[in-house]
């Protein structure tokens, strides 16, 4: 993750900080996610059955798209110099807007919404995020992601 001073980071509040690289969501990734989460719903893992649905084929789990945010954030999140640890605190207003069809690529677009010192050395960062699907008009999901940074 790129580093910056807290003052530099605070100056970015209200602004887009960037978009991640594209990530391929292929059937192998979907199947692996189904295995670790034990979610084997046919729309994710059975191409023949899923082809008969309005999706026309298998789609990624919404939680798979959400879980890729950690990888996406690594490309663009600004973290303060001297970070000891960063942890997820949670999400607000997660919405799954469009299915991610197997074989599509996704990327995260991030806007820094707020930075607030909660305690000495503990900062709360809130990012608005939209997970875009390549060549699709609507995003896969939108959310407000809350993280805690310890410096």
Tens digit of each residue's pLDDT (9 = 90 or more) over 61-109: 999 999 999 999 999 998 888 889 999 999 999 999 999 999 999 999 9
Q: How confident is the model at residue 3 (pLDDT cuts 50, 70, 90)?
A: confident
Q: Rounded to whole angstroms, what are the CA distances from 18 to 1, 74, 134, 139, 147?
A: 12, 11, 16, 16, 17
Q: How confident is the model at residue 141 (pLDDT cuts 50, 70, 90)?
A: very high
Structural domain total, the chain: 1
Domain residues for 101? Answer: 3-150
115 and 50 Cβ atoms separated by less than 8 Å: no
Q: Rounded to whole angstroms, what are the CA distances from 62 to 83, 92, 125?
A: 31, 15, 23
Tens digit of each residue's pLDDT (9 = 90 or more) over 20-41: 999 999 999 999 999 999 999 9
What is the CATH classification number for the domain harbouring 124?
Answer: 3.10.129.10
Answer positive or negative: Cα dihedral of 66, 72, 77, 81: positive
Radius of gyration of the chain (CA): 17
Q: How far is the C-alpha of 1 from the C-alpha of 11, rounded, in Å? A: 18
């Amino acid at each position: 993750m790129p580093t910056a001073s807290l003052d530099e980071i605070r100056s970015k509040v209200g602004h887009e900080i960037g978009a991640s690289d594209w990530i391929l969501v292929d059937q192998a990734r979907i199947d692996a996610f189904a295995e670790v989460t034990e979610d084997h719903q046919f729309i994710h893992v059975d191409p023949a059955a899923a082809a008969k649905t309005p999706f026309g084929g298998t789609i990624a789990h919404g939680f798979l798209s959400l879980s890729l945010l950690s990888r996406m954030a690594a490309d663009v999140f600004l973290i303060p110099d001297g970070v000891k640890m960063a942890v997820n605190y949670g999400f607000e207003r997660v919405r799954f807007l469009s299915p991610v069809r197997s074989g599509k690529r996704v990327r995260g677009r991030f806007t820094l919404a707020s930075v607030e010192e909660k305690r000495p050395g503990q900062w709360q960062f809130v990012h608005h995020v939209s997970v875009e699907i390549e060549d699709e008009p609507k995003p896969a999901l939108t959310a407000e992601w809350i993280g805690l940074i310890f410096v």
